[in-house]
Amino acid sequence: MTDQSRRILLAGGAVIALVMYLQTPTLPQPLSQESRTGFKSGAPRAQTWFVAFSDLAGHDAAESAINSMAAQGIMHGLTPTQFAPEMPLTRGDFVIAMQRMFNLPPSQSIAFSDVAPANPVYPALQAVGPYLGRQLLCFGCALGTNFMPSQAISKAEAIFTMTRVLAALNKLQLLSPSDADSVLAGIPDLSELSPPSRVYFATAIRNGISPLGPENRILPASEVTRADAAVLLDRVQRKFDIPRLPPSPD
């Protein structure tokens, strides 16, 4: 083969390669602009829906958890741009978040007279109701028939319910009474917990679900803010390998 023939073949091959390159479809690139209804730019294909709330200043420690919970549809903002991190979380929103994160199926009819079947809280309360353990939290109390979904949820209710769900799913094992006593020894507000509920709180503390507050207090009657709830849910999801939900634009 002459040098001229080689040059012709090489030139022809280059032309064919160029034509094939131009005909190759271009894969879509990640969005360069981030918005509430878009994906984080530069993220891999299994990315999460990005949520932009404008009221998270001063909540740096909770921002990632808030965005994660909103991205998965476990929690929602009050508006597309307002999460209201310092507002107390309602009991209704808590059971909805728990049902969504753990994918709990409705297990029974509910006997709360203030939550009708048409209420969006109703199916979540059906699923989470068995884990509320209201009689254990308020041992010996004469409990009413109202759930009061618009009332703020207390730390005692949130941690107790969370621990019961995790135990039921075999994600953790409840401590023995003696181990629970050891964990709770010296806690100044222990008397605010009913005796039957203490093993659940000790288990939560031992497993890092609920760190103690100032002066090693449990603060069971304190209200859980929406930021606190997001941090709690995110911590549990990560620590106990609860499957992430697919991105939600809602």
Average pLDDT over residues 58-79: 96
pLDDT at 17 over 90: no
Q: What is the mean pLDDT of residues 43-60?
A: 68
Asked if residue 161 lies in contact with residue 210, where contact means CB atoms within 8 angstroms, the answer is no
Evaluated on CA atoms 224, 225, 226, 228, the torsion sign reads negative
Q: What separation in angstroms does the CA of 120 have from each of 126, 159, 192?
A: 11, 23, 32
Reduce the DSSP state of residue 49 to 3 states and report it.
strand
Dump pLDDT digits (tens) for 148-173.
999 999 999 999 999 999 999 999 99
Q: Average pLDDT for residues 5-31, to the nearest whole number?
A: 34
Mean pLDDT to the nearest integer, 39-44: 31
* Matching residue, tokens 């949520």: 51
Higher-pLDDT residue of 55 and 30 is 55
CB 239 within 8 A of CB 208: yes
Closest CA to 230 of 42, 77, 27, 43: 77
Q: What is the pLDDT of residue 144?
A: 79
Tens of pLDDT, residues 184-233:
999 999 999 999 999 999 999 999 999 998 899 999 999 999 999 999 99
pLDDT for residue 206: 96
> What pLDDT score was predicted for residue 176?
97
Which positions ≥6 away from 126 have C-beta within 8 Å?
106, 107, 108, 109, 110
Predicted confidence at residue 52, as pLDDT, reads 81
DSSP 86: T
Distance CA 157, CA 172 (A): 18
Provide the 3-class DSSP secondary structure of residue 244.
coil
Query: Could you tell me where the DSSP H helices lie in the chain?
Result: 3-23, 60-71, 91-102, 121-132, 134-137, 155-168, 177-184, 198-206, 226-239
Q: What is d(CA 165, CA 98) in angstroms, rounded to the nearest whole number?
A: 9
* Predicted pLDDT of residue 142: 56
Q: What is the pLDDT of residue 135?
A: 79
Residues contacting 31, CB < 8 A, separation 6+:
38, 39, 41
143-159 residues labelled b (16+ CB within 10 A) or e (exposed):
eeeebebeebbbbbbbb
Per-residue confidence band for 111, with pLDDT thresholds at 50, 70 and 90? confident
> Is pLDDT at 16 greater than 70 in this prediction?
no
Give the Cα separation of 78 and 53 in Å (integer).
10
| Element holding 126 (H helix, E strand) | helix 121-132
* pLDDT mean over 85-112: 92
Query: What gap in Å lies between CA 227 and CA 208, rounded to an integer?
Result: 18
pLDDT digits (tens, 9 = 90+) for 76-91: 999 999 999 999 999 9
Looking at per-residue confidence, does 104 or 3 come out higher?
A: 104
**Could you tell me which residues come within 8 angstroms of residue 87 by beta carbon, excluding any fewer than 6 positions away?**
78, 225, 226
The pLDDT value recorded for residue 250 is 57
